[in-house]
Amino acid sequence: MTADDLARLVAKDLAPELGADIPAKTEAAISGEQSRSWGANVSQAVEVGAFIVHTASLAWDIYKEYRDTAKVREFVVADAKPPAGVSKEKAEMIVNSVIENLPKTES
């Protein structure tokens, strides 16, 4: 399993709350079809998808080293700054889903 696979799990998990297009926008961010940076001309779904990929990649890198979800949460919350188009609530939902899905990456 990779960080991209984790991002796909999170996008699928959160599609009911964040919108049916989130998995597709996340896949676009993974494949580089659009910029992973968040500019003023980027739609909210793209921003959310890119933030999912960024957060999953960060969490995955930390998890590979520590294998401790509490430590991963601590680092991710401190380092993953959501773009302007992603509300605090959505960012928390994404971080929570990333952390919940990390153990699934080992199966």
pLDDT digits (tens, 9 = 90+) for 23-52: 999 998 898 765 544 444 457 778 889 999
Please compute the mean of the pLDDT values over residues 88-102 and round it to a whole number. Answer: 94
For residue 42, the model assigns a pLDDT of 53
Cα separation, 39 vs 73, whole angstroms? 26
Helix, coil or strand: residue 68 = coil
Residue 28 belongs to domain spanning:
3-106
Query: How many structural domains is the chain composed of?
Result: 1
- Asked if 7 and 50 touch (Cβ cutoff 8 Å), the reply is no
Neighbouring CB atoms inside 10 A of 40's CB total 6
Residue pLDDT, tens place only, 57-87: 999 999 999 999 999 999 999 998 898 878 8
pLDDT at residue 41 in the model: 45
Q: What is the pTM of this model?
A: 0.83
Query: CA–CA separation, 54 vs 105, rounded Å?
Result: 17
Could you write out the three-class secondary structure of 32-46?
Answer: CCCCCCCCCCCCHHH
